[in-house]
Structure 1
Amino acid sequence: MVAMQMRQVSAVIAAVFVAWGITLSATAQQQKKLTVYSGREEKIMAPLIEKAQKALNMDIEVRYGDSTSLAIALIEEGKNSPADIFYAQDAGSLGAVAKENLTQKLPNQLLQKVEPQFRSSTGQWVGISGRARVIDYNTKLVKPGELPGSVMQLTDPKWRDKVGWSPTNGSFQSFVSAMRIMEGDRQTLEWLKAMKANGAKTYDGNSAIVEALGRGEIALGLVNNYYLYRFTKDDPNFPVAIHHTQGDAGALINAAGVAVLQTTDQKNDAQKFVAYLLSQEAQQFLTQQFYEYPLVGGIPVSQKQVPLQQLQPPKIDLSQLSDLKGTLGLLQEAGLL
């Protein structure tokens, strides 16, 4: 009975892949190991990879690092890279790799699972989950009426030594890229220098910023929307809340996404992996377990999240965030890297 059920499940998965234009190999049991470069943290990816391996009967190996560093590594490795897939936490890193002609165009059947604003305009990568930039704040230190209307106001002396950020973080760097597009390099550089002069405190990632907020070490933090919920899940009284700005770079809605690399000799398997990430199972996992926004239609958002359609992000083509080199240079000029 169990064997029959497994054959039925395999038949259903095979039918889905065929419908999406992905051919299943007759020698699936003899597939090579799929290598994924992941800018997503291991505590998210490890259980997701385990699910994918079981669903696809595939051996998957993951190399972890921050998205920016992995993008640079892929560019340096070029045609000698062992990677098959790049899974980045932000569109900027994906765009930087695509800009170097290191990615393959994905099948339309996969691209069309996601709205145009969350995929490459040339089909080189596709978003898997959405994340909104927000200002988290300590509710004991800041009243809602005191919150800034824009991130540009954080250079005000009243926020001296009270703001946390993470300049080495890929999502933060994409946010800076968005500011460059909206405000220009000169004004963005001035903002970065003014923030530093105003005592903005540097942390190693978003989680560290939220932890510092909870301790009252800082009053405001520039982070992604979903990190707070990982804290309130264990402590409903955690004294931090989310503030959404409107229309500025601080309201950017970015996408964690994937690209199939030119170096892969497992194009079919790589596309099956992408198809799995766009499946209902994977989308629900990222939404319900990690509070990210699903990008495939028909998947309900976590009840704790403000629905995407209620947010007011800036009108930016995420493919424009690809000038990683320019953003890193600006951060270096500001003395932040």
Structure 2
Amino acid sequence: MRRPSARRITALAAAGLLLPALAACGSDDSGAGAENAENEDSTLVIYSGRNEKLVKPLLGELEKAVGAKVEVRYGDSAELAAQILEEGRRTKAGLFFSQDAGALGALSKEGVLRKLPPATLDKVDKAYRGSDGDWVGLSGRVRVLAYNPDEVREDKLPDSVLDVVKPEWKDKVGFAPTNASFQAFVTGMRVLEGDDATRTWLKGLKANGAKAYANNLAVLDAVESGEASLGLVNHYYWYERVAEKGEDKVAAQLHFLPGKDPGALINVAGAGILEDTGQGEAAQKALDFLLSKRAQTYFADETKEYPLAAGVTSSVKDLPPFASLESPDIDLGRLESLQQTLTMLQEQGLV
């Protein structure tokens, strides 16, 4: 994954609500709401932070589901959140489909998302939806440790991500510091453990010779080859590789951390409906479709993520049941402070 550009840093700052004036500027146009009202549900515009290749087949089914033309604009979740704030009431977006909870939390904090009906919210456990009831998780991914059994015995694996900075793991850990999922995990650690403890851990990670890679797949490759004994990744990369190659062709194994450890964070992809865009009815239908058995099964089968809607379970072989995961208790909306995380990573020379 590319290093953060000036454009991305600006976007992260906006998504972190360091530029709240943008939304206020956009809301000065009193004619925007009237214009949107005239176009009520004629077209649903989705700003999608999820990869086009990944979700296009599913989103292609939406026009039939919502009974309106659907236009999807793809991009980075943080950049799209920043764009929505900048556009204010002039935004074309009716539905924001985010790769992570942090960008949704940023928009929620700014008050630009519509409150969702209880019937929608109640489909998902409250831990995986916005605390203000204005966004809902659609699929979940858990942080795990990938490990090479030829390099480390299972009974010697750490029970906390905090332990990977200990001397026994010197030069043996791989991670992807410029990857959004790692940055969201560090943000979660800041929320759970505090900034001082997180900064100390990052310093320890660097001092202990942890090896930086471009993305999660590169980390998994390093573990597979024995270049790294442990790798900090999301669970679904391993399951996608197993589905592609067969488990007997994949050297790495996964360790799901116990005890509500920060390294067992469950982040979500989710969606929220924008206020005052004249697309509310179509956006609600789209959101309900994304929570339907059809869409939830797609997330489970195609992306190897956990479906979050009640009554839908994953059929992925050997994937631990969602209820068995010992993830930390955290308000996922608080992952919006991504800019502070990026600054901390830059201060430690990790990005």
TM-score computed with the length of structure 2 as normaliser = 0.81
1:299 counterpart residue number? 312
C-alpha change, 1:265 and 1:212, in structure 2 (3 Å) is: farther
What does the per-residue CA deviation read over 1:84-107, in whole Å, with 9 as the maximum and x for residues that have no partner? 222112212210121122211112
1:147-186 CA distance string (max 9 Å, x none): 1111111112332333222233332222112211221101
> 2:145 aligned with 1:135, yes or no?
yes
Question: Does the alignment pair 1:100 with 2:113?
Answer: no
Match of 2:244 in 1: 234
Q: Which moved more, 1:229-238 or 1:198-207?
A: 198-207
2:332 matches 1:318: yes
Task: Please name the residue that 2:57 is paired with.
Answer: 47
The Cα of 1:54 is off from its aligned counterpart by 4.1
- Deviation of 1:289 (Å): 2.1
Structure 1 stretch displaced more, 295-304 or 121-130: 295-304
Matched residue type, 1:50: G
Report if the CA contact (8 A) 2:65-2:285 is conserved: no
The reply on whether 1:331 has 2:345 as its aligned counterpart is: yes
Relative to structure 1, the CA distance from residue 212 to residue 46 in structure 2 (aligned partners, 3 Å threshold; closer, same or farther) is: farther
**Unmatched tracts of structure 2, length 5 or more:** 1-39
The residue identity in structure 1 corresponding to 2:290 is: L
Q: Report the CA distance between 1:127 and its aligned residue.
A: 0.6
For structure 1, which segment, 151-160 or 209-218, has the greater mean C-alpha deviation from structure 2 after superposition? 209-218
Counterpart-to-counterpart distance in 2, 1:218 and 1:68: 30
CA distance in 1, matches of 2:83, 2:206: 29
Q: 1:77 to 1:189 in 2, by over 3 A?
A: farther
Change (3 A) 1:142 1:43: farther
Pick the aligned partner of 1:271 from 281, 284, 301.
Answer: 284
Corresponding letter in the other structure for 2:183 = Q
Greater shift after overlay, 221-230 or 154-163? 154-163
Distance in 1, Cα, partners of 2:179 & 2:77: 8
Distance 1:259 1:66 in 2: 16
- Cα deviation for residue 253 of structure 1 reads 1.6
Q: Cα gap change, 1:183/1:141 in structure 2, threshold over 3 Å: closer, same or farther?
A: same
* Residue identity in the other structure for 2:263: G
Aligned residue type for 2:256: H
Tell me, yes or no, if structure 1 residue 183 matches structure 2 residue 193: yes
The answer to whether the 8 Å contact 1:68/1:170 transfers is no
Q: Against the structure 1 CA distance between its residues 193 and 38, is the aligned structure 2 distance closer, same or farther, given a 3 Å change threshold?
A: farther
TM-score, normalization by structure 1? 0.84
2:219: which partner in 1? 209
Counting matched residue pairs gives 308
- CA–CA distance in 1 between the matches of 2:342 and 2:229? 27
SS at match of 1:234: helix
Percent of matched pairs sharing the same residue: 46
1:33 and 1:58 in contact (8 A); partners too:
yes
Change (3 A) 1:211 1:39: farther
Distance between the aligned counterparts of 1:254 and 1:203, measured in 2? 21
Relative to structure 1, the CA distance from residue 169 to residue 81 in structure 2 (aligned partners, 3 Å threshold; closer, same or farther) is farther
Matched, 1:170 2:180: yes
Alpha-carbon shift at residue 307 of structure 1 (Å)? 0.7
User: Residue in 2 aligned with 1:144?
Assistant: 154
Give the distance between the partners of 1:336 and 1:66, measured in 2 at CA: 21
1:325 CA drift (Å): 2.9
Q: SS at the partner of 2:178?
A: coil
The answer on whether the counterparts of 2:43 and 2:279 sit within 8 Å (CA) in structure 1 is no
1:233 match: secondary structure: helix
1:287 — aligned with what? 300
CA distance in 2, matches of 1:78, 1:216: 49
| More displaced stretch, 32-41 vs 234-243 | 32-41
Q: Closer, same or farther in 2 for the Cα pair 1:312/1:279, shift >3 Å?
A: same
Give the distance between the partners of 1:241 and 1:189, measured in 2 at CA: 29
Computed over aligned residues only, the root mean square deviation of the Cα atoms, in angstroms, reads: 2.1
